[in-house]
Amino acid sequence: MTRFALVGRRRVARTRFLTVERAYYTTPDGWVVREIVRHPGSVVVVPWDGERVHMIRQVRVAVGRPLLELPAGKLDVDGETPEAAAARECAEEIGLRPGRLTPLHTAYTSPGFTDERCMIYLAEDLAPVGSDPQGAEEAAAEHVALTLEEAAAGLADGSITDATTLIGLYALLRRLGR
């Protein structure tokens, strides 16, 4: 950033949890304007029971179809740690509470326009609890449990397309030496 200096910014829009701002930078070649989506951050959980990875198939209205994903959610509860958010999302979405969470990876979801930082956790020692879907998409979602071979096939054939799910599954495979 030493060659890009922020000279100003202003809020363009604010939603329930996102802020869009317009930022003005000087560069070696003049100046540029960029719209940036400010995001509170997110978590993704890789629930692994030793035999299967637990996922959720839910409609994503932004892309107009259901996607097979790992449980995930925003860091939108004041004072909640990322680990607590990961445990909460896992229980809400698939009805399994992790007894142990291990950080696997951290990734920026789309750094060309947003500062969203996603923390990915391996969830183990899973205990059944009542799920608590939040919103219409989660209420209509389906819990899917895949073997490692089935998950790897979904990565290979392109049927799993969510970026943070791809990262989480590859991290699990790497961790298990596959």
Catalytic residues, by residue number, are 138
Residue 161: φ, ψ to 5°: -125, -10
* Assigned token pair, 6: 């922020």
Amino acid in the structure at residue 103: P
CA dist 23 and 145 (Å) reads 43
Per the document, the length of the chain is: 178
45 in Cβ contact with 121 (< 8 Å): yes
Taking alpha carbons only, the member of 134, 112, 140, 132 closest to residue 16 is 134
C-alpha neighbours within 13 Å on the C-beta side of residue 174:
9
